[in-house]
């Protein structure tokens, strides 16, 4: 977290920082500003302990605020500077609002002293003691609208005043929390720690030593070699073969399908709790091999260190999340109680499915779709992208090590035109889980809609496709925050994310200023192969992608103004594409309307917020969108009117986290499913309701 979540933590940090400044008084001229008497007293005490002359440090106070503090400091012989903001009206109003918010905070010192009449002992209590008391009380982490420290402090104040705790009627209740109690997100690796960097470097070295190995199909938990093999190439060096994946024939696909169908009835009868335990075991193995899997992604998918680590963490999250969720769905739910009958709903697995995954999140998405399916008692055939087959092979190896029975996971790598087509059109396939391009997704949707003779079910399609995602920057937005969010969203993993920012709509009041700052900030984007620590801009996934994106950039030069283009190495062996920004992009241009899936950002000007919303919504896709604004009215309008599946306000628009931001879109972005959400698992299941007459006729139900 970039900020402290409780007031005692903030106060304790202030005391640590002020002590550090005073201890280095020979090198730092320190000035201290606060309305918290405890914080100021702590500075005085530390200065006295260190033997500092009172004139060596300075206190600063806002003119007209807490004059008693200024008078007291002067009486103690301290240097005090009173300051008053001077300048233009509108920035001054913003400054004034910030001060009002700060000094009227429920947890602030002034509010506690004057509005709540807290006793001196409460106000001067050591914040470290408040934090310890919170820990001893077992207070849970803060939830929206409720601060644990605030509860403790308020209780202490009310006890001093003899009041009965009560919430003002104007305070709305906190939002209902829908998270699973036994699920916690996997933390990212901190690469500022030397040991973590060395661990990943060692795994990169290990993988390079294993380049060129063969990875067979896996059917019934057994390896199956084929006569044809597909090389998987390093995007940073197309002469390096990460591995050779077996190319399945249609006969191999049929054999895998037969294995999955034979295994499914028995797997469906495994209790939900046991299936959940196996998913947790898989998560543990992924966690154990996190550095190994991240290093593989660096080479095969071209992800930099942090992106590769995040992908493995998300795969772990999917396993643990769907394990927790199946424990809930695995228990029959009682419906409306009637005097004469019981009504219970439970869920059945759909059967056998094919999971078709992309290369940009080669472990997380494959693991998420397949994990949800098998959690529900289904068996699956995995058809990964031909760009990242080695990662898929490693996942299936870990599934076997985790103890999943033969036939539950089956790996079928091969050409989509042969193996993929065979599977999606087979009457023996009950569902298809797909993440990828709109073109392929629409073809799958159309094919699944046909019902040939002998097909027992209507095929379920869980389809997630692309996006042409838009971020609006309002006329009153915090530009410093907006620039950071824009760079991360547009150029993280070279824009090769379905959630990536590709359309930036800026209100004209901020247009020139924002464009100038964004282009200046692009200089911070470090270029280099993904295996280099700290690299942000690397090569794109393969030659076809490189040629396609470069062609888009050339076409874009005829449609808009090329405002900036990064420099990339002149290395013919790598798939380099320079990150590119176009400005004054017309809403009718291909740059504005067509998905690019690469490091190309289009910036368009809007005169009004109405026009900005209209531009953002003028799109075939509806995946992610965002807004940077300080206007409560415009924020509420964006919530109500911006057409997208995931809306991000005053932050970047990529990086959805399992359980926190269930991810998925609609229109041409998908069927409205939300990966990492509570309802996602239900798409792999069918609901059944059982009604039983409970009147006594010689038989009493066991539960009674």
Q: Nearest Cα to 311, choosing from 574, 540, 527, 493?
A: 493
Residue 620: DSSP 8-state: S
| Cα radius of gyration (the chain) | 30
If residue 329 lies in a helix (H) or strand (E), which one and from where to where?
helix 305-329
Contact 388, 301 (CB under 8 A): yes
DSSP letters of 394-423? HHHHHHHHHTPPTTSEEE----IIIIIHHH
In sequence order, what E strands does 494-613 have? 501-507, 561-565, 580-583, 600-606
If residue 7 lies in a helix (H) or strand (E), which one and from where to where?
helix 7-23
Contact 215, 390 (CB under 8 A): yes
Contact 497, 360 (CB under 8 A): yes
Can you tell me the distance from the alpha carbon of 444 to that of 531, in angstroms, rounded to the nearest whole number? Answer: 35
Can you tell me the distance from the alpha carbon of 282 to that of 402, in angstroms, rounded to the nearest whole number? Answer: 5
Q: Nearest Cα to 418, choosing from 247, 665, 570?
A: 247
Residue 434: DSSP 8-state: E
DSSP, collapsed to helix, strand or coil, labels residue 290 as helix
List all residues 6 or more positions away from 526 whose beta carbon is below 8 Å from its beta carbon. 534, 535, 536, 537
Q: Exposure of 337 by Cβ count < 10 A (0-12 exposed, 13-18 middle, 19+ buried)?
A: exposed
Q: Nearest Cα to 299, choosing from 343, 236, 384?
A: 236
In the residue annotation, 17 being an active-site residue is answered as no
Alpha carbons within 13 angstroms on the beta-carbon side of residue 394 total 25
DSSP, collapsed to helix, strand or coil, labels residue 79 as strand
Q: Nearest Cα to 648, choosing from 668, 665, 671, 624?
A: 624
Here the tokens at position 111 are 């509010």
Residues comprising the chain, all counted? 704
Can you tell me the distance from the alpha carbon of 405 to that of 224, in angstroms, rounded to the nearest whole number? Answer: 17
Can you tell me the distance from the alpha carbon of 614 to that of 622, in angstroms, rounded to the nearest whole number? Answer: 13
Catalytic residue from among 300, 325, 464, 531: 464
Contact 243, 212 (CB under 8 A): yes
Q: Which residue has the tokens 């403790």?
A: 152
Contact 211, 205 (CB under 8 A): no
Pairing of strands 341-349, 333-334: antiparallel
Catalytic residue from among 463, 498, 522, 619: 498
If residue 23 lies in a helix (H) or strand (E), which one and from where to where?
helix 7-23
Residue 390 has φ and ψ, to the nearest 5°, of: -70, -40
Can you tell me the distance from the alpha carbon of 571 to that of 580, in angstroms, rounded to the nearest whole number? Answer: 18
Cβ neighbour number for residue 552 with a 10 Å cutoff: 18
Here the tokens at position 602 are 């289009």
Can you tell me the distance from the alpha carbon of 181 to that of 187, in angstroms, rounded to the nearest whole number? Answer: 17
List all residues 6 or more positions away from 253 whose beta carbon is below 8 Å from its beta carbon. 381, 412, 414, 419, 422, 423
In the residue annotation, 13 being an active-site residue is answered as no
Can you tell me the distance from the alpha carbon of 399 to that of 274, in angstroms, rounded to the nearest whole number? Answer: 14
Catalytic residues: 464, 498
């Amino acid at each position: 977290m970039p900020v402290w979540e409780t007031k005692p933590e903030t106060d304790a940090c202030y005391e640590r920082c002020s002590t550090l400044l005073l201890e280095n008084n020979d090198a730092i001229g320190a000035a201290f500003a606060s309305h918290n008497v405890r914080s100021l007293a702590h500075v005085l005490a530390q200065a006295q302990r260190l033997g500092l002359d009172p004139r060596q440090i300075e206190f600063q106070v806002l003119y007209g605020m807490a004059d008693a503090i200024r008078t007291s400091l002067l009486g103690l012989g301290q240097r005090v500077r009173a300051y008053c903001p001077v300048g233009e009206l509108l920035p001054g109003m913003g400054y004034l609002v910030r001060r009002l918010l700060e000094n009227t905070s429920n947890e602030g010192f002034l509010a506690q002293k004057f509005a709540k009449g807290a006793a001196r002992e409460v106000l001067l209590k050591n914040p470290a003691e408040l934090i310890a008391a919170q820990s001893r009380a077992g207070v849970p982490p803060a939830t929206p609208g409720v601060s644990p420290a605030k509860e403790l402090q308020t209780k202490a104040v009310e006890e001093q005043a003899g009041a009965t705790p009560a919430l003002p009627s104007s305070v709305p209740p906190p939002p209902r929390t829908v998270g699973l109690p036994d699920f916690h997100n996997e933390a990212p690796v901190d690469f500022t720690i030397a040991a973590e960097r060395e661990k990943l470097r060692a795994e990169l070295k290990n993988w390079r030593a294993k380049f060129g190995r063969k990875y067979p199909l896996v059917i019934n938990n057994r390896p199956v070699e084929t006569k044809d093999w597909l090389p998987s190439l390093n995007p940073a060096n197309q002469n390096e073969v990460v591995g050779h994946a077996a190319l399945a024939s249609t006969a191999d696909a049929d054999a895998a399908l037969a294995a999955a169908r034979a295994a499914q009835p028995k797997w469906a009868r495994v209790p939900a709790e046991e299936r959940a335990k196996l998913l947790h075991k898989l998560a543990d193995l992924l966690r154990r091999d996190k550095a190994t899997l991240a290093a593989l992604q660096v080479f095969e998918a071209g992800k930099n260190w942090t992106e590769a680590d995040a992908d493995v963490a998300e795969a772990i999250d999917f396993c643990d999340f769907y394990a927790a969720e199946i424990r809930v769905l695995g228990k029959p739910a009682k419906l409306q109680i009637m005097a004469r009958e019981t009504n219970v709903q439970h869920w059945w697995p759909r059967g056998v499915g094919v999971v078709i995954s992309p290369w940009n999140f080669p472990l997380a998405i494959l693991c998420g779709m397949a994990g949800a399916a098998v959690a529900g008692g289904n068996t699956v055939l995995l058809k990964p992208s031909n760009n990242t087959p080695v990662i898929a092979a490693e996942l299936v190896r870990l599934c076997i090590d985790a103890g999943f029975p033969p036939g539950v996971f089956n790996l079928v790598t091969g050409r989509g035109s042969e193996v993929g087509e065979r599977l999606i059109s087979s009457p023996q396939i009950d569902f298809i889980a797909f993440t990828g391009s709109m073109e392929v997704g629409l073809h799958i949707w159309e094919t699944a809609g046909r019902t040939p003779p002998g097909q027992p079910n209507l095929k379920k399609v869980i389809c997630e496709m692309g996006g042409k995602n838009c971020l609006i920057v309002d006329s009153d937005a915090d530009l410093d925050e907006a620039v950071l969010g824009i760079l991360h969203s547009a150029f993280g993993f070279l824009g090769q994310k379905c959630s990536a920012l590709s359309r930036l709509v800026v209100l004209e009041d901020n247009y020139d200023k924002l464009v100038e700052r964004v282009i200046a900030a692009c200089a911070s984007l470090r270029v280099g192969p993904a295996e280099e620590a700290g690299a942000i801009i690397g090569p794109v996934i393969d030659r076809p992608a490189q040629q396609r994106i470069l062609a888009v950039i050339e076409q874009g030069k005829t449609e808009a103004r090329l405002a900036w283009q990064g420099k990339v190495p002149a290395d013919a062996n790598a798939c380099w594409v320079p990150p590119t920004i176009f400005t004054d992009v017309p809403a009718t241009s291909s740059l504005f309307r067509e998905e690019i899936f690469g490091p190309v950002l289009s910036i368009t000007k809007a005169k009004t917020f109405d026009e900005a919303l209209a531009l953002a919504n003028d799109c075939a896709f509806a995946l992610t969108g965002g807004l940077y604004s300080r206007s409560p009215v415009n924020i509420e309008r964006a919530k109500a009117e911006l057409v997208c599946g995931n809306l991000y306000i005053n932050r970047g628009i990529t990086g959805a986290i399992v359980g926190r931001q269930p991810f998925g879109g609609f229109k041409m972005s998908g069927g409205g499913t939300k990966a990492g959400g509570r309802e996602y698992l239900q798409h792999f299941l069918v609901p059944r309701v059982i009604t039983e007459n409970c009147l006594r006729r010689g038989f009493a139900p066991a539960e009674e």
